[in-house]
Structure 1
Amino acid sequence: MDALTALTTRVSSPRLEAPGPSGEDIEQLLQAAIRAPDHGILRPWRFLVLQGEARHKLGDIMVEQLLAKQPDADERSREAMRGKALRAPTLIIAVAEITEGHKVPAWEQILAVGAAVQNMMVAAHAMGIGAMWRTGDMANSELAKARLGFAAKDQVVAYLYLGTPSGPGKPLPAENPADYLRDLP
């Protein structure tokens, strides 16, 4: 698949199943990620690749975060939260490890990691791998950042779920780029 086709046909895959990407596939996705634009060449991206049992550890962190916000959460809610880590055979957690006091502000460093995640999503699509970019409370959780090994200054940018698409991708309406153009005032 050529790059333009990959960019213009990519859709998110909310339902993913095994098999997940191979080790070689993950290496290619990460190679695509680290080619993202990066003002200052700070390389703020850090990635945790979770498969197998590691997903259960993430599920435990998700439950811990739930209980921090809702100490009275019932067992059904806890199990539903724990199951979020098992929605796909592979997860890549993308985090912006912020270089403080640099001329490149934190927001640009976070955008660089966002561009890296977008590169992975387009590459996954081109490779026939389903992908879903998720955030939610876990992206802004100080508890989750600490449990994942990051500092308070850092920012979780994506929980990228990867696997074999199960069913159609998330449909997107046909759109016209002209609808998003504005003239200079």
Structure 2
Amino acid sequence: MPQFNDTSSVLSLLKTRKSASAKAMTAPGPTTGQLAQILEIAVRVPDHGKLAPWRFIVWEGEARAAFGETMKARWQSLHPEHGEATLGFVHGLFLRAPMVLAVVSTAAEHPKIPVWEQQLSAGAVCMNILYAATALGIGCQWNTDWVVYDAGIAAAMGLKPAEKVAGIIYLGTPTAPYEERPRPDPAALLTRWSAT
């Protein structure tokens, strides 16, 4: 059985980092101080032009259930044929973990910095959140799900028209053992460019 999330060194953590399952999280979630640490580390990413083209939204406590009602109503309007079981599942999406954090990409047209680079920076923020939370002993999972792509949910989150959610990150205490998944062989993905 491999050891996951080994924090004995930076390289050990990078080699063994494994997401927890949002379906198997419980309290406690990050403290206020831990969240501040996580976000401090989150923003230490490549950011061409120093634009900080991202921001954060957090749901904790009763806000998770309240937003669940919003998601449930939206799903019901999109899929009126779905029954109570599906609606209950949708309502409970943000109740799976004690804290849910959205990373919002605020990428916009810029005379020098391509939008794509700004979006990549938001992805790097998501990854730094996972590393920071894991280093603090907090279970975490980066998710998207339909809520990231729905205009009605984006409006309910308070997103501006050009903003997009780069990731929904669940943070809490894991209740299930970590399981490895197949990983690609890096050597099989590598090519060496040659002029000949």
Report the TM-score, using the length of structure 1 for normalisation.
0.92
1:173 aligned residue (179, 182, 185): 182
Task: Between the two structures, name the one with larger relative contact order (CA 8 Å, sep ≥ 6).
Answer: 1
Output the CA distance in 1 between the equivalents of 2:80 and 2:163: 26
2:13 is the counterpart of 1:6: yes
> Runs of 5+ in structure 2 lacking a partner?
1-6
Q: Which residue of 1 aligns with 2:49?
A: 40
Structure 2 Cα separation of the partners of residues 132 and 180 of structure 1: 25
Secondary structure (helix, strand or coil) at the match of 2:49 reads helix
- Which residue, 70, 75, 80 being the options, matches 1:61? 70
Residue identity matched to 1:53? E
State the 1:105 CA deviation: 2.4
The answer (yes or no) to whether the contact 1:56–1:85 under 8 Å persists in 2 is: yes
Unaligned runs of 5+ in 1: none
Number of corresponding residues? 185
Secondary structure of the structure 2 residue equivalent to 1:40: coil
Structure 1 residue 30 corresponds to structure 2 residue 39: yes
Displacement of 1:175 after TM fit?
5.1
Identical residues among aligned pairs (%): 37
Structure with the greater alpha carbon radius of gyration: 2
- TM-score by structure 2 length? 0.88
Q: Which contiguous aligned blocks of 4+ residues in structure 1 show a shift greater than 6 angstroms?
A: none
- Using the TM superposition, name which of 103-112 and 47-56 deviates more: 103-112
Q: How does 1:93-104 map to 2 (within 5 A)?
A: 93-104=102-113
Cα RMSD over matched residues?
A: 1.6
